Structure 1
Amino acid sequence: MTPDLDHATLKSRQRAMRGGFPQTMGLRVHRAISWIGRAEACGEDHDARFIFLWIAFNAAYADESEFQAAPTQGERAVFLGFFDNIARLDGEARVYGAIWKRFHGPVRLLMENRYVFHPFWQHHNGIPGYEDWEERFAASARAFARAFQNGDCAKVLSFVFDRLYVLRNQLVHGGATWNSRVNRAQVRDGAAILGFLLPVFVDIMMDNPQQDWGRPFYPVVE
Protein backbone atom coordinates (compact mmCIF):
# COMPACT_ATOMS: atom_id res chain seq x y z
CA MET A 1 0.00 0.00 0.00
CA THR A 2 1.32 3.43 -0.94
CA PRO A 3 1.86 5.61 2.15
CA ASP A 4 -0.56 8.48 2.63
CA LEU A 5 0.36 11.67 0.82
CA ASP A 6 -0.20 14.75 2.95
CA HIS A 7 -0.17 18.43 2.06
CA ALA A 8 3.45 18.93 3.18
CA THR A 9 4.70 16.05 1.02
CA LEU A 10 2.77 17.21 -2.03
CA LYS A 11 3.83 20.83 -1.58
CA SER A 12 7.50 19.89 -1.20
CA ARG A 13 7.34 17.84 -4.39
CA GLN A 14 5.48 20.58 -6.25
CA ARG A 15 8.08 23.19 -5.29
CA ALA A 16 10.90 20.94 -6.49
CA MET A 17 9.23 20.21 -9.84
CA ARG A 18 7.18 23.30 -10.71
CA GLY A 19 9.86 24.77 -12.95
CA GLY A 20 9.09 22.02 -15.46
CA PHE A 21 5.32 22.33 -15.27
CA PRO A 22 3.31 23.94 -18.07
CA GLN A 23 1.66 27.09 -16.75
CA THR A 24 -1.92 25.81 -16.81
CA MET A 25 -1.02 22.49 -15.21
CA GLY A 26 1.13 24.22 -12.59
CA LEU A 27 -1.74 26.50 -11.59
CA ARG A 28 -4.14 23.55 -11.42
CA VAL A 29 -1.83 21.54 -9.12
CA HIS A 30 -0.96 24.56 -6.96
CA ARG A 31 -4.62 25.28 -6.32
CA ALA A 32 -5.55 21.66 -5.64
CA ILE A 33 -2.72 21.24 -3.12
CA SER A 34 -3.75 24.44 -1.31
CA TRP A 35 -7.28 23.08 -0.76
CA ILE A 36 -5.96 19.68 0.32
CA GLY A 37 -4.00 21.54 2.98
CA ARG A 38 -7.10 23.42 4.09
CA ALA A 39 -9.02 20.16 4.34
CA GLU A 40 -6.32 18.67 6.58
CA ALA A 41 -6.82 21.55 9.02
CA CYS A 42 -10.48 20.57 9.54
CA GLY A 43 -9.67 17.69 11.86
CA GLU A 44 -12.86 15.83 12.73
CA ASP A 45 -15.16 18.34 11.00
CA HIS A 46 -16.05 15.89 8.23
CA ASP A 47 -18.57 18.19 6.55
CA ALA A 48 -16.00 20.95 6.05
CA ARG A 49 -13.30 18.46 5.14
CA PHE A 50 -15.50 16.94 2.44
CA ILE A 51 -16.34 20.35 0.96
CA PHE A 52 -12.72 21.55 0.88
CA LEU A 53 -11.62 18.27 -0.72
CA TRP A 54 -14.32 18.64 -3.37
CA ILE A 55 -12.95 22.11 -4.14
CA ALA A 56 -9.52 20.47 -4.54
CA PHE A 57 -11.12 17.99 -6.94
CA ASN A 58 -12.64 20.83 -8.96
CA ALA A 59 -9.26 22.55 -9.11
CA ALA A 60 -7.64 19.35 -10.36
CA TYR A 61 -10.12 18.33 -13.06
CA ALA A 62 -12.39 21.19 -14.19
CA ASP A 63 -11.67 22.16 -17.81
CA GLU A 64 -13.00 25.56 -18.86
CA SER A 65 -13.04 24.69 -22.56
CA GLU A 66 -15.13 21.54 -22.04
CA PHE A 67 -17.74 23.39 -19.99
CA GLN A 68 -17.96 26.07 -22.67
CA ALA A 69 -18.25 23.51 -25.48
CA ALA A 70 -20.84 21.32 -23.76
CA PRO A 71 -22.67 23.38 -21.13
CA THR A 72 -25.59 20.96 -20.99
CA GLN A 73 -23.50 17.92 -20.16
CA GLY A 74 -23.37 18.67 -16.46
CA GLU A 75 -20.48 18.48 -14.07
CA ARG A 76 -20.59 14.72 -13.56
CA ALA A 77 -20.27 14.04 -17.28
CA VAL A 78 -17.27 16.33 -17.67
CA PHE A 79 -15.06 14.72 -15.04
CA LEU A 80 -15.22 11.26 -16.63
CA GLY A 81 -12.41 12.17 -19.02
CA PHE A 82 -10.27 13.08 -16.03
CA PHE A 83 -10.80 9.61 -14.57
CA ASP A 84 -9.81 8.02 -17.89
CA ASN A 85 -6.51 9.92 -17.80
CA ILE A 86 -5.83 9.13 -14.15
CA ALA A 87 -6.51 5.41 -14.64
CA ARG A 88 -4.39 5.24 -17.80
CA LEU A 89 -1.44 7.03 -16.20
CA ASP A 90 -1.62 5.22 -12.85
CA GLY A 91 1.05 2.66 -13.64
CA GLU A 92 1.23 1.36 -10.07
CA ALA A 93 -2.56 1.01 -9.80
CA ARG A 94 -2.51 3.12 -6.64
CA VAL A 95 -6.07 4.32 -7.06
CA TYR A 96 -7.56 0.87 -7.64
CA GLY A 97 -5.41 -0.58 -4.86
CA ALA A 98 -6.64 2.03 -2.40
CA ILE A 99 -10.27 1.28 -3.18
CA TRP A 100 -9.70 -2.49 -3.04
CA LYS A 101 -7.46 -2.75 0.03
CA ARG A 102 -8.30 0.28 2.14
CA PHE A 103 -11.74 1.57 1.27
CA HIS A 104 -13.54 -1.50 0.03
CA GLY A 105 -15.88 -1.41 3.05
CA PRO A 106 -16.72 2.32 2.92
CA VAL A 107 -17.10 2.23 -0.87
CA ARG A 108 -19.40 -0.79 -0.65
CA LEU A 109 -21.52 0.97 1.97
CA LEU A 110 -21.64 4.10 -0.18
CA MET A 111 -22.83 2.08 -3.17
CA GLU A 112 -25.51 0.39 -1.05
CA ASN A 113 -26.83 3.69 0.33
CA ARG A 114 -29.98 4.83 -1.47
CA TYR A 115 -29.66 8.31 0.03
CA VAL A 116 -26.73 9.10 -2.26
CA PHE A 117 -28.44 7.64 -5.36
CA HIS A 118 -29.74 10.39 -7.65
CA PRO A 119 -32.80 8.53 -9.07
CA PHE A 120 -34.04 7.83 -5.52
CA TRP A 121 -34.27 11.56 -4.84
CA GLN A 122 -35.81 12.25 -8.23
CA HIS A 123 -38.58 9.79 -7.41
CA HIS A 124 -38.90 11.11 -3.84
CA ASN A 125 -39.31 14.64 -5.23
CA GLY A 126 -42.06 13.55 -7.60
CA ILE A 127 -40.12 13.77 -10.87
CA PRO A 128 -41.87 11.58 -13.49
CA GLY A 129 -39.92 8.67 -14.98
CA TYR A 130 -38.14 7.55 -11.82
CA GLU A 131 -40.72 5.13 -10.46
CA ASP A 132 -38.26 2.34 -11.27
CA TRP A 133 -35.48 3.77 -9.08
CA GLU A 134 -35.13 0.49 -7.17
CA GLU A 135 -34.47 -1.43 -10.40
CA ARG A 136 -31.95 1.23 -11.42
CA PHE A 137 -30.33 0.99 -8.00
CA ALA A 138 -29.92 -2.78 -8.33
CA ALA A 139 -28.62 -2.47 -11.90
CA SER A 140 -26.10 0.15 -10.78
CA ALA A 141 -24.85 -2.17 -8.04
CA ARG A 142 -24.38 -4.99 -10.55
CA ALA A 143 -22.57 -2.75 -13.02
CA PHE A 144 -20.28 -1.46 -10.27
CA ALA A 145 -19.46 -5.02 -9.19
CA ARG A 146 -18.57 -5.97 -12.78
CA ALA A 147 -16.33 -2.92 -13.18
CA PHE A 148 -14.64 -3.68 -9.88
CA GLN A 149 -14.05 -7.33 -10.75
CA ASN A 150 -12.71 -6.37 -14.18
CA GLY A 151 -10.29 -3.85 -12.70
CA ASP A 152 -11.85 -1.01 -14.71
CA CYS A 153 -10.55 1.79 -12.52
CA ALA A 154 -12.04 4.67 -14.52
CA LYS A 155 -15.51 3.13 -14.40
CA VAL A 156 -15.17 2.33 -10.69
CA LEU A 157 -14.26 5.96 -10.02
CA SER A 158 -17.22 7.15 -12.08
CA PHE A 159 -19.61 5.08 -9.93
CA VAL A 160 -18.02 6.23 -6.67
CA PHE A 161 -18.00 9.89 -7.63
CA ASP A 162 -21.55 9.70 -8.95
CA ARG A 163 -22.60 8.87 -5.37
CA LEU A 164 -20.20 11.41 -3.87
CA TYR A 165 -21.65 14.05 -6.18
CA VAL A 166 -25.09 13.56 -4.64
CA LEU A 167 -23.53 13.93 -1.21
CA ARG A 168 -21.71 17.04 -2.42
CA ASN A 169 -25.02 18.54 -3.57
CA GLN A 170 -26.68 17.79 -0.24
CA LEU A 171 -23.96 19.72 1.59
CA VAL A 172 -23.27 22.58 -0.83
CA HIS A 173 -26.91 23.31 -1.62
CA GLY A 174 -28.04 23.35 2.00
CA GLY A 175 -29.71 19.95 1.92
CA ALA A 176 -28.07 18.82 5.14
CA THR A 177 -27.43 20.08 8.65
CA TRP A 178 -23.84 20.63 9.76
CA ASN A 179 -22.62 17.73 11.90
CA SER A 180 -25.99 16.01 11.53
CA ARG A 181 -26.42 12.51 12.91
CA VAL A 182 -28.68 11.65 9.94
CA ASN A 183 -25.92 11.43 7.31
CA ARG A 184 -22.85 11.15 9.54
CA ALA A 185 -21.51 7.82 8.24
CA GLN A 186 -21.70 8.74 4.56
CA VAL A 187 -20.09 12.16 5.12
CA ARG A 188 -17.32 10.65 7.23
CA ASP A 189 -16.65 7.87 4.72
CA GLY A 190 -16.92 10.26 1.78
CA ALA A 191 -14.36 12.61 3.31
CA ALA A 192 -12.03 9.68 4.02
CA ILE A 193 -12.29 8.40 0.44
CA LEU A 194 -11.65 11.86 -1.02
CA GLY A 195 -8.88 12.46 1.50
CA PHE A 196 -6.91 9.55 0.16
CA LEU A 197 -7.78 9.77 -3.53
CA LEU A 198 -7.26 13.50 -4.15
CA PRO A 199 -3.57 13.54 -3.10
CA VAL A 200 -2.97 10.49 -5.29
CA PHE A 201 -4.69 12.19 -8.24
CA VAL A 202 -2.46 15.25 -7.80
CA ASP A 203 0.65 13.10 -7.44
CA ILE A 204 -0.18 11.29 -10.69
CA MET A 205 -0.67 14.66 -12.39
CA MET A 206 2.79 15.76 -11.23
CA ASP A 207 4.21 12.50 -12.58
CA ASN A 208 2.74 13.43 -15.97
CA PRO A 209 3.03 17.21 -16.38
CA GLN A 210 2.98 17.08 -20.19
CA GLN A 211 -0.41 15.38 -20.27
CA ASP A 212 -3.12 17.77 -21.43
CA TRP A 213 -5.03 18.36 -18.18
CA GLY A 214 -7.12 21.11 -19.74
CA ARG A 215 -7.41 24.81 -19.05
CA PRO A 216 -8.28 25.76 -15.47
CA PHE A 217 -11.08 28.16 -14.62
CA TYR A 218 -10.21 31.76 -13.78
CA PRO A 219 -6.51 31.94 -14.65
CA VAL A 220 -4.40 34.52 -12.88
CA VAL A 221 -4.77 37.78 -14.83
CA GLU A 222 -2.63 40.82 -14.10
Structure 2
Amino acid sequence: MKDVLNHGALKAKQRAIRDGFPETMGLRAHRAISWIGRAEACGDDEDARFIFLWIAFNAAYADEREFQSVAPGERAAFADYFGRLVARDEGQRIYRALWQRFSGPVRMLMENRYVFNPFWQHHNGIDGFEDWEDRFRDSSRAFAQAFQSGDSTRVLSFVFDRLYVLRNQLVHGGSTWNSGVNRAQVRDGAAILAFLMPVFVDLMMDNPQLDWGRPFYPVVE
Protein backbone atom coordinates (compact mmCIF):
# COMPACT_ATOMS: atom_id res chain seq x y z
CA MET A 1 0.00 0.00 0.00
CA LYS A 2 1.35 3.40 -1.01
CA ASP A 3 0.15 5.76 1.69
CA VAL A 4 2.57 8.54 0.80
CA LEU A 5 2.81 9.38 -2.86
CA ASN A 6 4.26 12.82 -3.53
CA HIS A 7 5.83 14.72 -6.40
CA GLY A 8 9.29 13.30 -5.72
CA ALA A 9 8.10 9.70 -5.81
CA LEU A 10 6.03 10.27 -8.94
CA LYS A 11 8.89 12.03 -10.74
CA ALA A 12 11.34 9.27 -9.86
CA LYS A 13 8.95 6.63 -11.16
CA GLN A 14 8.25 8.60 -14.33
CA ARG A 15 11.96 8.97 -15.10
CA ALA A 16 12.52 5.25 -14.57
CA ILE A 17 9.78 4.02 -16.91
CA ARG A 18 8.92 6.91 -19.24
CA ASP A 19 10.79 5.38 -22.20
CA GLY A 20 7.94 2.90 -22.43
CA PHE A 21 5.21 5.55 -22.47
CA PRO A 22 3.33 6.46 -25.64
CA GLU A 23 4.08 10.11 -26.48
CA THR A 24 0.64 11.41 -25.54
CA MET A 25 0.56 9.47 -22.27
CA GLY A 26 4.06 10.66 -21.40
CA LEU A 27 3.08 14.28 -21.94
CA ARG A 28 0.00 13.91 -19.72
CA ALA A 29 2.02 12.36 -16.90
CA HIS A 30 4.83 14.91 -17.21
CA ARG A 31 2.45 17.87 -17.08
CA ALA A 32 0.27 16.53 -14.29
CA ILE A 33 3.29 15.68 -12.12
CA SER A 34 4.71 19.17 -12.63
CA TRP A 35 1.52 20.78 -11.29
CA ILE A 36 1.35 18.35 -8.38
CA GLY A 37 4.85 19.53 -7.49
CA ARG A 38 3.78 23.16 -7.70
CA ALA A 39 0.81 22.47 -5.44
CA GLU A 40 3.09 20.93 -2.82
CA ALA A 41 5.03 24.20 -2.67
CA CYS A 42 1.99 26.25 -1.64
CA GLY A 43 2.47 25.99 2.10
CA ASP A 44 -0.72 27.10 3.86
CA ASP A 45 -2.27 28.69 0.76
CA GLU A 46 -5.20 26.32 0.26
CA ASP A 47 -6.71 28.38 -2.58
CA ALA A 48 -3.54 28.13 -4.64
CA ARG A 49 -3.08 24.46 -3.75
CA PHE A 50 -6.59 23.66 -4.96
CA ILE A 51 -6.14 25.56 -8.24
CA PHE A 52 -2.78 23.96 -9.04
CA LEU A 53 -4.16 20.50 -8.27
CA TRP A 54 -7.13 21.16 -10.53
CA ILE A 55 -4.70 22.06 -13.32
CA ALA A 56 -2.99 18.73 -12.66
CA PHE A 57 -6.38 17.03 -12.95
CA ASN A 58 -7.06 18.74 -16.27
CA ALA A 59 -3.62 17.75 -17.55
CA ALA A 60 -4.33 14.13 -16.64
CA TYR A 61 -7.88 13.68 -17.90
CA ALA A 62 -8.99 16.34 -20.41
CA ASP A 63 -9.98 14.80 -23.73
CA GLU A 64 -9.38 16.43 -27.11
CA ARG A 65 -12.99 15.68 -28.08
CA GLU A 66 -14.20 18.17 -25.49
CA PHE A 67 -12.48 20.95 -27.41
CA GLN A 68 -13.69 19.83 -30.83
CA SER A 69 -17.41 19.70 -30.15
CA VAL A 70 -19.98 20.71 -27.60
CA ALA A 71 -18.98 18.82 -24.49
CA PRO A 72 -21.57 16.27 -23.30
CA GLY A 73 -21.04 17.64 -19.81
CA GLU A 74 -18.15 17.62 -17.41
CA ARG A 75 -19.74 14.85 -15.40
CA ALA A 76 -19.79 12.49 -18.38
CA ALA A 77 -16.13 13.20 -19.08
CA PHE A 78 -15.24 12.72 -15.44
CA ALA A 79 -17.13 9.43 -15.17
CA ASP A 80 -15.34 7.93 -18.18
CA TYR A 81 -11.94 8.82 -16.76
CA PHE A 82 -12.82 7.65 -13.24
CA GLY A 83 -14.17 4.36 -14.55
CA ARG A 84 -10.86 3.55 -16.24
CA LEU A 85 -8.91 4.42 -13.09
CA VAL A 86 -11.11 2.46 -10.69
CA ALA A 87 -11.10 -0.61 -12.96
CA ARG A 88 -7.31 -0.75 -12.68
CA ASP A 89 -6.94 0.19 -9.03
CA GLU A 90 -6.05 -3.31 -7.89
CA GLY A 91 -4.81 -2.03 -4.54
CA GLN A 92 -8.10 -0.18 -3.96
CA ARG A 93 -6.29 3.00 -3.04
CA ILE A 94 -9.13 5.15 -4.37
CA TYR A 95 -11.73 3.11 -2.51
CA ARG A 96 -9.86 3.33 0.78
CA ALA A 97 -9.30 7.05 0.37
CA LEU A 98 -13.02 7.68 -0.14
CA TRP A 99 -14.38 5.30 2.49
CA GLN A 100 -11.72 5.61 5.19
CA ARG A 101 -9.28 8.49 4.95
CA PHE A 102 -11.65 11.15 3.57
CA SER A 103 -15.12 9.84 4.36
CA GLY A 104 -15.81 12.81 6.67
CA PRO A 105 -14.65 15.57 4.28
CA VAL A 106 -16.41 13.86 1.36
CA ARG A 107 -19.71 13.73 3.24
CA MET A 108 -19.34 17.34 4.37
CA LEU A 109 -18.70 18.40 0.80
CA MET A 110 -21.82 16.63 -0.41
CA GLU A 111 -23.91 18.30 2.30
CA ASN A 112 -22.64 21.79 1.42
CA ARG A 113 -25.13 23.75 -0.71
CA TYR A 114 -22.49 26.33 -1.61
CA VAL A 115 -20.80 23.87 -3.96
CA PHE A 116 -24.08 22.69 -5.54
CA ASN A 117 -24.52 24.28 -8.95
CA PRO A 118 -28.37 24.54 -9.02
CA PHE A 119 -28.19 26.55 -5.76
CA TRP A 120 -26.20 29.25 -7.55
CA GLN A 121 -28.30 29.03 -10.69
CA HIS A 122 -31.35 29.82 -8.60
CA HIS A 123 -29.70 32.65 -6.66
CA ASN A 124 -28.49 34.17 -9.93
CA GLY A 125 -32.10 34.37 -11.10
CA ILE A 126 -31.91 31.69 -13.80
CA ASP A 127 -35.32 30.19 -14.56
CA GLY A 128 -35.93 26.52 -13.91
CA PHE A 129 -33.94 26.19 -10.71
CA GLU A 130 -36.59 27.15 -8.17
CA ASP A 131 -36.55 23.50 -7.10
CA TRP A 132 -32.84 23.51 -6.22
CA GLU A 133 -33.59 22.21 -2.72
CA ASP A 134 -35.40 19.17 -4.15
CA ARG A 135 -32.49 18.59 -6.51
CA PHE A 136 -30.08 18.90 -3.61
CA ARG A 137 -31.94 16.27 -1.61
CA ASP A 138 -32.16 13.98 -4.64
CA SER A 139 -28.44 14.36 -5.25
CA SER A 140 -27.67 13.63 -1.61
CA ARG A 141 -29.78 10.47 -1.70
CA ALA A 142 -28.14 9.28 -4.92
CA PHE A 143 -24.71 9.95 -3.45
CA ALA A 144 -25.59 8.06 -0.26
CA GLN A 145 -26.71 5.05 -2.32
CA ALA A 146 -23.47 5.10 -4.32
CA PHE A 147 -21.44 5.44 -1.14
CA GLN A 148 -23.24 2.61 0.62
CA SER A 149 -22.85 0.29 -2.37
CA GLY A 150 -19.13 1.01 -2.67
CA ASP A 151 -19.42 2.42 -6.19
CA SER A 152 -16.14 4.34 -6.40
CA THR A 153 -16.74 5.64 -9.92
CA ARG A 154 -20.08 7.21 -9.05
CA VAL A 155 -18.80 8.58 -5.76
CA LEU A 156 -15.86 10.22 -7.52
CA SER A 157 -18.26 11.72 -10.07
CA PHE A 158 -20.42 13.23 -7.33
CA VAL A 159 -17.40 14.57 -5.46
CA PHE A 160 -15.85 16.12 -8.55
CA ASP A 161 -19.18 17.68 -9.51
CA ARG A 162 -18.97 19.63 -6.27
CA LEU A 163 -15.27 20.34 -6.64
CA TYR A 164 -15.96 21.67 -10.13
CA VAL A 165 -18.27 24.32 -8.67
CA LEU A 166 -15.54 25.25 -6.20
CA ARG A 167 -13.06 25.40 -9.09
CA ASN A 168 -15.37 27.82 -10.93
CA GLN A 169 -15.75 30.03 -7.88
CA LEU A 170 -11.98 30.36 -7.50
CA VAL A 171 -10.90 30.56 -11.14
CA HIS A 172 -13.66 32.94 -12.22
CA GLY A 173 -13.18 35.35 -9.35
CA GLY A 174 -16.26 34.26 -7.44
CA SER A 175 -14.50 34.24 -4.09
CA THR A 176 -11.92 36.20 -2.14
CA TRP A 177 -8.42 34.83 -1.71
CA ASN A 178 -7.95 33.35 1.75
CA SER A 179 -11.49 34.35 2.64
CA GLY A 180 -12.82 33.56 6.07
CA VAL A 181 -16.10 32.54 4.43
CA ASN A 182 -16.60 28.94 3.35
CA ARG A 183 -13.06 27.88 4.19
CA ALA A 184 -14.05 24.28 4.90
CA GLN A 185 -14.77 23.32 1.30
CA VAL A 186 -11.53 24.87 0.05
CA ARG A 187 -9.47 23.14 2.73
CA ASP A 188 -11.21 19.78 2.31
CA GLY A 189 -11.26 20.05 -1.47
CA ALA A 190 -7.52 20.70 -1.57
CA ALA A 191 -6.85 17.81 0.81
CA ILE A 192 -8.94 15.37 -1.23
CA LEU A 193 -7.26 16.42 -4.49
CA ALA A 194 -3.79 16.35 -2.91
CA PHE A 195 -4.26 12.68 -2.07
CA LEU A 196 -6.16 11.53 -5.14
CA MET A 197 -4.22 13.26 -7.93
CA PRO A 198 -0.93 11.45 -7.24
CA VAL A 199 -2.85 8.16 -7.11
CA PHE A 200 -4.58 8.95 -10.42
CA VAL A 201 -1.27 9.72 -12.15
CA ASP A 202 0.40 6.66 -10.61
CA LEU A 203 -2.36 4.42 -11.96
CA MET A 204 -2.01 6.00 -15.39
CA MET A 205 1.73 5.30 -15.38
CA ASP A 206 1.02 1.71 -14.38
CA ASN A 207 -1.28 1.40 -17.41
CA PRO A 208 0.39 3.42 -20.18
CA GLN A 209 -1.00 1.14 -22.89
CA LEU A 210 -4.54 2.44 -22.34
CA ASP A 211 -5.85 5.27 -24.48
CA TRP A 212 -5.85 8.19 -22.05
CA GLY A 213 -6.66 10.63 -24.82
CA ARG A 214 -4.54 13.02 -26.87
CA PRO A 215 -3.68 16.36 -25.26
CA PHE A 216 -5.23 19.25 -27.18
CA TYR A 217 -2.08 21.32 -26.67
CA PRO A 218 0.82 19.09 -27.72
CA VAL A 219 4.40 20.27 -27.82
CA VAL A 220 4.90 21.97 -31.19
CA GLU A 221 8.38 22.84 -32.33
TM-score by length of 2: 0.97
Q: Is the 8 A contact 2:119 2:129 kept in 1?
A: yes
How far the C-alpha of 1:149 sits from its partner, in A, is 1.2
Whole-Å Cα distance in 1 between the matches of residues 71 and 213 of structure 2?
Answer: 19
| Structure 2 match to 1:40 | 40
The question of 1:13 aligning with 2:38 is answered no
| Structure 1 match to 2:199 | 200
How far the C-alpha of 1:76 sits from its partner, in A, is 3.7
Q: Is the 8 A contact 1:83 1:157 kept in 2?
A: yes
1:161-172 equivalence runs, <5 A: 161-172=160-171
Q: Is the 8 A contact 1:67 1:78 kept in 2?
A: no
| Structure 2 match to 1:186 | 185
Aligned amino acid, residue 16 of structure 2: A
Gaps of 5+ in 2: none
- Higher mean C-alpha displacement, 160-169 vs 147-156: 147-156
Whole-Å Cα distance in 2 between the matches of residues 146 and 74 of structure 1?
Answer: 22
1:1-222 equivalence runs, <5 A: 2-68=2-68, 70-222=69-221
Whole-Å Cα distance in 1 between the matches of residues 7 and 28 of structure 2?
Answer: 15
How far the C-alpha of 1:92 sits from its partner, in A, is 1.5
Q: Is the 8 A contact 2:67 2:216 kept in 1?
A: no
Gaps of 5+ in 1: none
Whole-Å Cα distance in 2 between the matches of residues 123 and 113 of structure 1?
Answer: 16
Percent identity between matched residues is 75
Could you say what the CA RMSD is over the residues aligned between the two structures, in angstroms? Answer: 1.1
Aligned amino acid, residue 163 of structure 1: R
SS in 2 for 1:176: coil
How far the C-alpha of 1:36 sits from its partner, in A, is 0.1
TM-score by length of 1: 0.97
Aligned amino acid, residue 62 of structure 1: A
